[in-house]
Amino acid sequence: MHGKKTGSRRRILVTGSRGKSSIVRLLHAAMNAAGLETYARITGVVPRELGPGGCRTISRSAGAHVEEMRWWLAQLPESTGGVILENSAITSEFQGLAGRWLRPEITVLANTLPDHQEIWGPTSESAAGVLVAGIPKRCHVVLPGQLQSNDHLLAMLNRRACQFVFAQPVHAAGECFRSTNFGLALATLEHLGFAAGPALQTMLGVPPDRYDFRVANIGGAEVAMAFSANDISSTRTLFRSLRWSAGETRLLYNHRADRPGRFRSFIGWLGRSCWREVLIIGDKPRNQPRTARYLHIENEQGLLRLFQPGDRIFGCGNIAGLPLSLTAVLD
């Protein structure tokens, strides 16, 4: 990294199965508001850089590559005072690169929910093994308080000589998953010496990201945009938060052929007989619940025609593809 030495900057690494981008956005807003010129990189649905002047999309000439993280760190301006990096590595062999390049003083481990099952394995324990491999040894780690009883995870962190900071949810944000993210960001900032009160006020004012969970009115239908949740546990939690009955809900699952493990984890939930209807779009799965119907939809207009006045539609699975283009319509 050129310019100001890495060691003179406040450096935060954010890792986990989901929620990383939201945490990065909260940390970035609070640190800039405190007067520290801070840059952050989000992988998320669309790669972006957050700077003192706002947000810009990182253009790619080819597919995603782990080297993006090193390139991004190298081009930060000399005046940079804070750096927040979302670990974009997927495979276990590359997990440690972000920590090696950033040398974080603290790492946020958002959760260890099963994801990328084809690479990480099907369970939270296997996901934790991959994610912990990306946390530098002897690093301070901020964890959700609910992981305090996860002996398997804590034993792995202990073997890396890490020190733990357990964060409690901040319930002012509303939804459970946002409360957890607010708590993780606040505990991280407090550990770094930032004043908690002003930091929390700034973070509470951060608007939701365009790809975050929300309910939109589309053509008279209530459409819950939960496509970016990815894992079945978070998806079920989001559905429960709506207090919708299954009998009035049309489930809309967007399938990716390169995420068969994710689809398998959803099959039992999709296959319940209580739903009003279960629709699958995107790539056609090899096997699907007998209660589900696959629809080949080629464009955004075809997707919009699914939404009928009075419908309650819960979209889940994967945001890549047609649901991603739908977010632009909603803006």
Choose the CATH number for 214-330 among 3.90.190.20, 3.40.50.720, 3.50.50.60, 1.10.10.10. 3.90.190.20
**Torsion (CA) 147, 149, 151, 152 in degrees, nearest 10:** -40
> What percentage of the chain's residues is helix, strand, coil (to nearest 5)?
40, 20, 40
- Cα separation, 54 vs 69, whole angstroms: 19
> What's the pLDDT score for residue 4?
44
User: What 3-state class would DSSP assign to 14?
Assistant: strand
CB 255 within 8 A of CB 277: no
- What's the CA gap between 250 and 252, in Å, rounded? 6
The pLDDT, as a whole number, for residue 65 is 64
The predicted pLDDT at position 128 comes to 86
The H-or-E segment that residue 109 falls in is strand 106-109
User: What pLDDT, on the 0 to 100 scale, is given for residue 63?
Assistant: 53
Looking at residue 88, its pLDDT comes to 84
Each residue's pLDDT, cut to its tens digit, for the chain (331 residues) gives 333 445 578 999 999 887 898 999 999 999 999 999 999 999 866 788 999 988 877 665 445 567 888 988 999 999 999 999 999 877 778 888 999 999 999 999 998 876 666 666 767 888 888 899 999 999 999 999 999 999 999 999 999 999 999 999 998 655 566 889 999 999 999 999 999 999 999 999 998 888 888 899 998 999 999 998 888 988 998 999 999 999 999 999 999 998 898 999 999 999 999 999 999 999 999 999 999 999 999 998 999 999 999 999 999 999 888 998 888 777 5
Distance of alpha carbon 281 from alpha carbon 255, whole angstroms? 6
CATH number of 6-204: 3.40.1190.10
Structure tokens at 50: 């957050």
**Phi and psi at residue 216, in whole multiples of 5°?**
-115, 150
243 torsion bin: left (phi>0), alpha (psi -120 to 50), beta (else): left
Judge contact between 317 and 262, C-beta under 8 A. Answer: yes
Phi, psi torsion values for 255, nearest 5 degrees: -100, 140
Every domain of the chain and the residues it spans: 6-204, 214-330
Give the pair of three-digit tokens for residue 19.
Answer: 């929620």
Decide: 45 and 324 in contact? Cβ < 8 Å: yes
Q: Which residues pair with 163 in a beta bridge?
A: 140
Contact between residue 47 and residue 70 where contact means Cβ atoms under 8 Å apart: no
pLDDT of residue 60: 55
